[in-house]
Structure 1
Amino acid sequence: MARPVTNSAFEGLLLAAGYGNAHAAFARQLNHAGRNEGTWRYDAASVYWWLRGRRPGDHVQAAMAETLARKLGRSVAVTELGFGAPDSIGICVYPASVDGAIDTAEQIWTRLARHLNQQASGVFDSGKALEAALGWRYDLSDEAVSRNGLQQVTSTDVQSLYALADHFTDLDRRHGSGSPRTRAVMADLLVRQVAPMLHGTYTDVVGRDLMRAAATLSGQLAFMSYDAGEHAMAQHHVTLGLRLAKAAGDRLYGAHLLANLATQAVFLGHAREAARLVEAAIDGAGRAPAAVLARLHATAATAYGQSGERRACQLALTKAERALDRTGTDHGPRWVAYFSPAHLAGAAVRCLGDLHLHAEALGHATEALNLGSKNTRTRALHTALIAVTHARAGDTDAACIWASKTGQRAAGIQSARVQQRVRELAKTLGSQQASPQVNEVLHTLAALPAAP
């Protein structure tokens, strides 16, 4: 069933210019009008989405106005097109084409750079998340992504983007993403350097690597936005990353991003949707390296645990453990190198605790803290999770000991997720306020500074 038209102004102009039933013809004329910008591949599907809320880039709108003006015999202002202000990115839709993904990237990166401090990104849309999963899994692959634009892009240029992604990943794991400063630097990088590269000139081989690098940066920014509590913005970036990974032909990184989306859904309490998302990721990953499968099945376990599916949860944990045992000779892509037995153990504490199997969950506590020095935020998250699990198991003394450690390890980390887990811990301990020990711990937790 077709979606209703939401941009009636644009629809009216198309009708007046004779393109009401000729969307493909309009797209061809638009591609011709924008030839100085590079090779555009807009088609009838692009027009369909523009009529239903997607906002093309400013340069595309200028070419639209030019195309319509020739047919109408009068000047057409860009403001007549009905796409609204540049700061409005509309609904979170999986881009239908590579050109659509590039336009979307430019829009949301610009919006983030301009309004990073406003913290008004909306809410997570689980329905749109599932639509993105279907698009990534079942849409046809892109035959070509080469482009003729204004800036030559080389393999060396692309490799520098991976180095920058590694830098931001390290900052995120050490300090959290609650402060907008790191995200501001990253947003500026994307707007000023990466967007022009996407609009540049590159071969198909270089273009696919560029799409992969852009997907990596967008995926990292998505995770940072999620950690900062900006859930709609995080969803926009991971959806964009999925489309760019599709263009790159990198199904493994796409599966990783989809699992990140599932992790966000679990955090927000959308357990069943999270399970469907990670199931699509596992299905799309196919015969993946063991490390990738371990990460995906661990994410599935957390989704099943939250939804109360005990058998599915325990089976997913077993699959993750077996896959992790095979990683000695099968390390997988560089981006999954972070996933360790400690990360799997943390997932086990989480999902088994959700199933009220507290003793079994706490059996993974020691391993969950066997983390590298760079994983400062994960150590704080796991410590708080262990404290919560002790409290729910009825062991107040142990809960207080671990809560004190949480206060120490959470200090200085700017992360909405860490703050949420600290609040969860305080709430769980709150029923024991008669205990002086509990009161002291609650006072310590309450004194932790909030992220700016």
Structure 2
Amino acid sequence: MKPGARTARYLAEAISRRLGRVVDARDLGLVVGGSLKPDPDGLDWWEHDPATDLLTLGRADLERRAFGLTALYSLAALAVPLDSWQNIVDRGRQARGGGAAVGRHEIDAVRDMLAVFSKADERFGGGHARLAVVQYLTSDVAGYLQGRFASDHDRRAMFSLAAELAYLSGWKAFDSSLHGLAQRYYLQSLRLANEADDRALAGFTLRAMAHQAVDLGHGPEALQLASSSLEWSKGRATPAATALFTILTARGYAATGDTARTTAAGAAAEVHLANASPDDEPSWIRTSGFTETSLASQVGQALRDLGDLPTAETELRRSIATRNTEAYRRIHTLTLANLADVQCARGRLREATENWNHAMDSMTGVQSGRATVAVRNMRSRLSSLGPRLPTFAQQLDQRAAAFLHYQNSPRSK
């Protein structure tokens, strides 16, 4: 029997991963021909006007309840066509018509809304107001993209802001563990940043895609994306942005077991960050709070992946000690959980339990799929220690079970 379109995509993705190269449903003979009509379930976004695709994706997210849960994360979509982006931009410009006039007032309004959404995301997690961001992006902002601009400067400014909002939509979906949906928003962010000729911002999104890939266990792909972020933004990115892109290459090298290059990339990131001036950094660096604190967290995770647990613990402790915990509650929670994981692996269960409890204290009011995954991982670690857990660890496990039960209850939705 001939499989449906969704099943064909799943088969193509499974075979691609097994073969180590991209195979699509047409290659398998499961789909004949093809359509250039925007498809929110598909991944071939490179033939269409980005404003149109943004509307297609956003409306599917808002109107189809199960779309975010069923969207497939695909290795094929990581093959970003950097070498042909100028042709893609030219097609997008030709597709745009003359809508309403867009000027500085609209640009300032979008910038202010982006700042509000971004700050709330860092404090309360990706699940907080996720659809509100998508609604604003697909209603107000997508309309502006199809408008008339007084100057090319204004056009590029609006497309950069739209790219940041699309990135934020992707980041919120990623933090909510909606990985296929996150990937689609990241692709739209790349398209929009390229339209704005904002290579540094495009590098920022490529870095986020690398972060997602390494978290999902795709080390070589993460390394390729992180390297692309450096290559694409070369000569355009500020010191702190370059440090952020560089430390993600360290995560990629660590995931592939390359100790020497991991160490070298970590040292290079520290040098770049030491040369940064906060006032000269773009808004997306300032909002994300990438400082020595964040760098220490990333270094700690890279060293953990390499198996250097003592040094990883030192870096994670340094990150926790210097973090603004109120402004960046989500990442503080995740860093505490990472530290506890390392301590548990080192056989120091009491210290690990204390930090897991601190992490759960910080989760109050935070809607984050990654935080929920951290709690599940903690319970898995505790269960692997057998039935003779100390009382303090049993109490933590019971607390975690209650937390997960609440997260899965209709009341929490």
TM-score bin (small chain): 0.7 to 0.9
The C-alpha deviation readout for 1:283-316, integer Å capped at 9, x for no partner, is: 1111331101111112222222222222221111
Aligned residues between the structures? 365
Distance across 1 between alignment mates of 2:72 and 2:61: 15
Q: What is the aligned partner in structure 1 of residue 34 from structure 2? A: 52
Where does residue 93 of structure 1 map in the other structure? 44
1: CA distance, partners of 2:291 / 2:83? 27
2:245 is aligned to: 296
Report the counterpart of residue 349 of structure 1 in structure 2.
300
**Gap regions ≥5 residues in structure 1:** 1-5, 7-50, 57-87
Q: Secondary structure at the residue paired with 1:123?
A: coil
Give secondary structure in 2 for the equivalent of 1:414. coil
Deviation sequence 1:95-152 (CA, Å, 0-9, x none): 246xx211101101111121256643322112211x22xx235532746949542311
Distance in structure 1 (CA, Å) of the matches to 2:255 and 2:184:
24
Tell me the SS of whatever aligns to 1:262: helix
Structure 2 match to 1:273? 221
Quick one: distance in 1 between partners of 2:384 and 2:258? 28
Change (3 A) 1:91 1:119: closer
Q: Cα 1:118–1:235, aligned 2, differ >3 Å: closer, same or farther?
A: closer
Give the corresponding residue for 2:127. 178
In 2, Cα distance between equivalents of 1:413 and 1:362: 24
- 1:217 equivalent to 2:165? Answer yes
Aligned pairs (5 A) from 1:130-209? 131-132=79-80, 135-136=81-82, 138-140=84-86, 142=89, 145=93, 148-179=97-128, 182-202=129-149, 203-209=151-157
Give RMSD over aligned pairs.
2.1
Task: State the Cα deviation string for residues 171-207 of structure 1 (Å, max 9, x = none).
Answer: 111111235xx12222221222112212221242222
**SS of the residue aligned with 2:126?**
coil
**Structure 1 position 216, deviation (Å):** 0.9
SS where residue 91 of structure 1 aligns?
coil
The one-character-per-residue Cα deviations of 1:16-48 (angstroms, maximum 9, x if unpaired) are xxxxxxxxxxxxxxxxxxxxxxxxxxxxxxxxx
Write the distance in 1 (CA, Å) between the matches of 2:253 and 2:279: 27
Q: Which amino acid aligns with 2:100?
A: Q
**Map of 2:334 onto structure 1:** 381
Which 10-residue stretch deviates more, 114-123 or 247-256? Answer: 114-123
The correspondence of residues 279-358 of structure 1 with structure 2, limited to 5 A, is: 279-287=227-235, 288-328=237-277, 331-337=280-286, 338-358=289-309
Residue 404 (structure 1) aligned with residue 350 (structure 2): no
CA gap 1:186/1:329 in 2 versus in 1, 3 angstroms: closer
TM-score (norm 2): 0.83
Equivalent residues in 2 for 1:115-134, closer than 5 Å: 115-116=64-65, 119-129=68-78, 131-132=79-80
Distance 2:228 2:258 in 1: 18
Secondary structure of 1:177 counterpart: coil
Matched position secondary structure for 1:363: helix
C-alpha displacement at 1:239, in angstroms?
0.3
- Unaligned 5+ segments in structure 2 are 6-32
Does the Cα contact within 8 Å between 1:341 and 1:367 map onto a contact in 2? no
Q: Which of 309, 317, 326 is residue 366 of structure 1 equivalent to?
A: 317
One-letter identity of the residue aligned with 1:139: W
The structure number with the bigger radius of gyration is 1
Give the equivalent residue in structure 1 for 2:15.
none
| Mapped contact 2:313–2:342 kept (Cα < 8 A) | yes
Q: In 1, are the aligned partners of 2:61 and 2:68 still within 8 Å (CA)? A: no
Choose the corresponding residue for 2:392, options 418, 437, 445: 437
Q: Which amino acid aligns with 2:376?
A: R
| Pick aligned residue for 1:414 from 360, 363, 367 | 367
2: CA distance, partners of 1:93 / 1:159: 32
Question: Identity of counterpart residues, as a percentage?
Answer: 21
